[in-house]
């Protein structure tokens, strides 16, 4: 395949953002970069695939999350690149290329919210609106040295967003600054917070072992700073019992829901997908109901465990198992350990906050705080310890 030029963070088919009356609110003057999965009235939504772009008219209204943020004063500065249909974790698009990582030049940004992260990291936007299904806010946050919040699934509307898997998709936020993230979270989230006091931390050895030794070592001081404020339990998450296969469950349910939602479009228009996405779409088309039942059984087991574990506690784990790979490096071996870390939040719908934690050979790595549903604000408060 011919090597593509390195694009900037923003999609080239949106070069003029329609003017709209400035709104007063807590985000007054904040520059907002919007992932090109979200509808913005008057603009096309490309979803990372040229066939999708060509077969869908411009949006007639804003996605709910866009409307909420702009209604609070944020100003859209552009729509940003994404992986095809958000069906990847690495921010490498076979049609448009991959933005460079401003915090680690020569490396990828990661996540399907890749352009949004690049825009925030380079400073052309203050606030990024992305989506997180399997880690696509958290991974680029960790690799770009940003704060990235995957909110509780139940607290953010997904209306007006091109779906990958509605059971796991959730709009999320990226910032360089924790204070701005707290303000934007207060605007975006609906429903009251869970005010259960945080009484402890859990940092399971088996999850930490998914990360490379250099990452574990780099993040140890941040974990110790948290553990100085709350008791920390490091025993393995799954103990001696077999761990639920939540990576299998994630793949099956994501594929099933993708095909239920987009299968007719794929059959009708026969879009060309990049190699990794194309293989996942092929597998999605063949998922069976029996597989779905088995996947949901695994998901139920994870939910039971996490409900018990996170009763008054916060899970603390590396955001990603390694720093951002260099451009052109084979990312295949990273997929399984990434989902081992990110998949728990995804399949249960838990809030997860990636905090800039450290660096390995000059490359940012993040620490992720995961709480019970509704504890988003508590995670943001806990992150203040690491500022």
Of residues 79, 88, 113, 136, which has the active-site annotation? 136
Look up 136 and say whether it is catalytic.
yes
Full DSSP string of 52-111: HHHHSPPPSS--HHHHHHHHTT-EEEEEE---GGG--SS--BTTTB--B-TTSTTBB--S
Look up 112 and say whether it is catalytic.
yes
Listed residue (128, 110, 100, 109) closest to 34, CA to CA: 128
Q: Check if the beta carbon of residue 341 is closer than 8 Å to that of residue 210.
A: yes
Q: Check if the beta carbon of residue 25 is closer than 8 Å to that of residue 69.
A: no
Measured from the Cβ of residue 313, the count of other Cβ atoms closer than 10 Å reads: 22
- Nearby residues of 369 by Cβ (< 8 Å), 6 or more positions away: 314, 315, 316, 352, 353, 355, 379, 382, 383
Residue 77 tokens read as 């500065």
Full DSSP string of 119-177: HHHHTS-SEEEEEESSSTTHHHHHHHT-EEEE--GGGS--TTB--S-TTT-EEEEEES-
Residue 346 tokens read as 């995804």
Of residues 79, 88, 112, 354, which has the active-site annotation? 112
Look up 35 and say whether it is catalytic.
yes
The residues carrying an active-site annotation are 35, 112, 136
């Amino acid at each position: 395949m011919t090597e593509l030029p390195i694009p900037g963070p923003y999609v080239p088919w949106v070069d003029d953002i329609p003017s709209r009356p400035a709104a007063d609110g807590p985000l007054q003057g904040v520059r907002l970069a919007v992932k090109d999965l979200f509808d913005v009235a008057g603009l096309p939504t490309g979803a990372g695939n040229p066939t999708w772009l060509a077969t869908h008219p411009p949006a007639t209204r804003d996605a709910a999350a866009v409307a909420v943020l702009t209604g609070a004063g944020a100003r859209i500065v552009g729509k940003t690149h994404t992986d095809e249909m958000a069906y990847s974790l690495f921010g490498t698009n076979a049609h448009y290329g991959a933005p460079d990582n401003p915090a680690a030049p020569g490396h990828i940004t990661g996540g399907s919210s890749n352009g949004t992260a690049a825009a925030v990291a380079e400073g052309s936007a203050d606030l990024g609106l992305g989506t997180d299904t399997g880690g696509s806010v958290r991974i680029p946050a960790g690799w770009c040295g940003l704060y990235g919040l995957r909110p509780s699934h139940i607290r953010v509307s997904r209306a007006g967003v091109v779906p990958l898997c509605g059971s796991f998709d959730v709009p999320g936020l990226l910032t360089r600054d924790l204070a701005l993230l707290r303000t934007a979270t207060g605007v975006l989230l609906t429903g009251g917070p869970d005010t259960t006091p945080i009484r402890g931390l859990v940092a399971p050895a088996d999850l930490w072992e998914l990360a490379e030794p250099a990452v574990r070592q780099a993040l140890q001081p941040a974990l110790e700073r948290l553990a100085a404020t709350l008791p920390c339990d490091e025993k393995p998450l799954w103990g001696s019992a077999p761990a639920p296969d939540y990576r299998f469950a994630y793949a099956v349910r994501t594929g099933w829901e993708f095909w239920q939602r987009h299968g007719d479009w794929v059959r009708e228009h026969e879009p060309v997908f990049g190699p990794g996405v194309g293989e996942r779409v092929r597998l999605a088309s063949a998922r069976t109901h029996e597989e779905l039942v088995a996947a949901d059984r695994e998901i139920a087991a994870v939910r039971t465990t996490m409900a018990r574990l996170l009763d008054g506690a916060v899970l603390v784990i590396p955001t990603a198992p390694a720093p951002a790979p260099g451009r052109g490096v084979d990312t295949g071996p990273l997929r399984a350990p990434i989902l081992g870390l990110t998949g728990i939040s995804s399949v249960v719908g838990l809030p997860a906050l990636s905090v800039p934690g450290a660096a390995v050979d000059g490359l940012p790595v993040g620490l992720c705080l995961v709480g019970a549903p509704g504890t988003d604000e508590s995670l943001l408060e806990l992150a203040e310890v690491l500022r």
